[in-house]
A and B are shown apart, each in its own frame.
Chain A
Amino acid sequence: MIGFFSWTWVFDHLDDIWNRTVEHLLLTVIAVTVGLFISFVLAAYVLRTRRAYGPVTLATGILYSIPSLALFAFLVPVTGLSILTAEIGLVSYTLLILVRNIVAGIDGVPGPVLEAAAGMGYTRRQMFFGVQLPLALPVIIAGLRIAAVTTIGLVTVTALIGLGGLGFFILRGLSLFVSPVGTTQIIVGTVMSVFLALAVDFALVGAQRLLTPWARSKEAV
């Protein structure tokens, strides 16, 4: 193998790289958004019915432990080579961390703060949206960051069902790995995926700063 990386290929395929990056981002955004929504519903349920925490954690944990390959492979005969198949899988992997972090975040709001709010006449709803949620935000966003980065890694595996975003290049490169054209594609697919993950992580940290102005004076992790 002479030469591992072909800049020529990169410049010839800037369009494709861009398109696949966008595809990758869209698959991720859909998964995390839907996952967040479902997790909120589950978390709300758990916060109300404490006994459900065990079973919910168990169920989401089981989903999480299924190797991604198997989950996608299993869904294909049912939902085809579609975005739906990919998303069912991708969303499943976000639930464990998001439910856990939402519950932990809401639980982490100090009792005295809640009492003070109650004392000031906050209704339950006002308390949730005005006190608990904002204060739980850092922990929730921490979970969101992990979920997003994890999802971006998992999207590459969907190349095996005709999607993949940047994983498309990884798979294509696999069938051509003895030539620089192949290795370049594997590298581009992998490296761009990392960049995308770092960018999304950075964006979420930024969002956190935006949404929690009272915490700005402290060090954000």
Chain B
Amino acid sequence: MFKSRPLGVLVVTVALVAAACSSDSGEIDGPTIKIGSANFSESALVAEIYAQALEAEGYSVDRKLNIGSREIYKPALESGELDLLPEYIGTMLTFLGGEASSDSAATHSALQAAWEPEGISILDFAPAQDKNGLVVTKATAEELGVSRTSDLANFNGTLVFGGPPECPNREFCLIGLQSLYGLDFLEFKPLDVGGPITVTALESGEIDVALLFTSSGVILAKEFVLLEDDKGLQPAENLAPAVRTEILDAYGDRFANVLNAVSSVLTTTELIALNKAVEVDGEDPDKVAADWLDALGLS
């Protein structure tokens, strides 16, 4: 086989076959939409939902999931390496230097205004919110008698806190916990972004307090206790698609409508159920996304 075919021709053939097979031949003409996500499962799941909804309409899509943190994917979105990704309005607005509040509509408009100069448009926001949440095990909650975040201040200097590596740099993570709540942890352990490593660490007692997400499917399933954000550190964190204005202009209303339709039915309850299917029941996220869209008639 090899003796009759130079390596070069083989490689070119593979490349051609690849080009033919890999591009999801969408019926709609236009640039392929590069969909990105942050490196945690909810972000990847919502991005997958966007992707499948768009593919169902006939758009051609390229998935670039699990791209690190905001510092990494924001420049990529602005420079056109990514076209679309799911964002959380409160944290993103603050990241851009704006003031986020618990008012979803106001925060959303402020975000649109703040990011528009960089050529990014924010489509309709979903009712679903996902905020940072401090979580302890049931046993810890009982032992320490804590139910609110401010209760933790009574144990300053004794508790180990685990969360995403970027937590010490985040307004709504360590920075806010220290300045607003006056919390002082014994140690901060960089783990993963509200993922299985953090959950495992909390369960095994390697950390006392974990940073998870309020829409996480794990909290209820594992009977963890989500501490109340009694001082209101966390702003409104509705999910909304962030898309390059250029792409929006190229494709027009039909494109926006697909994503807005998805957002309109994505409630926090739905989001928790979706997360649970992936994080707790161990289902294939691609299937979970597909089934959800099917059930809602959006694919």
Interface residues of A (CB under 8 A from B): 6, 8-9, 12-13, 15, 18-19, 22-23, 25-26, 29, 76-77, 80-82, 159-163, 168, 171-172, 174-182, 203, 206-207, 209-210
For residue B76, which residues in chain A have a CB less than 8 angstroms away from its CB?
Answer: 80-81, 162
B255 CB → nearest A CB, Å: 22
For residue A29, which residues in chain B have a CB less than 8 angstroms away from its CB?
Answer: 11
CA distance A181 to B64 in the complex (A): 19
11 contacts between A and B (CB under 8 A): A81-B76, A81-B81, A162-B76, A171-B66, A172-B44, A175-B196, A176-B278, A178-B282, A181-B284, A181-B285, A203-B2
Q: Is the CB of A19 within 8 A of B21?
A: yes
| With A9-B284, A180-B282, A207-B7 as contacts: A175 and B44 at CB distance below 8 Å | yes
A-B contact count (CB 8 A): 103
For residue B192, which residues in chain A have a CB less than 8 angstroms away from its CB?
Answer: 174-175
Interface size on B, residues (CB 8 A): 43
Q: Is the CB of B283 within 8 A of A210?
A: no
A192 CB → nearest B CB, Å: 15
For residue B163, which residues in chain A have a CB less than 8 angstroms away from its CB?
Answer: none
| With A9-B284, A19-B22, A160-B68 as contacts: A176 and B196 at CB distance below 8 Å | yes
| CB < 8 Å neighbour of A162 from B11, B67, B285 | B67
Q: Is the CB of B36 within 8 A of A162?
A: yes
For residue A23, which residues in chain B have a CB less than 8 angstroms away from its CB?
Answer: 18, 22
CA distance A1 to B40 in the complex (A): 20
Q: Is the CB of B196 within 8 A of A12?
A: no
CA distance A178 to B67 in the complex (A): 20
Q: Is the CB of B66 within 8 A of A76?
A: no
Q: Is the CB of B2 within 8 A of A210?
A: yes
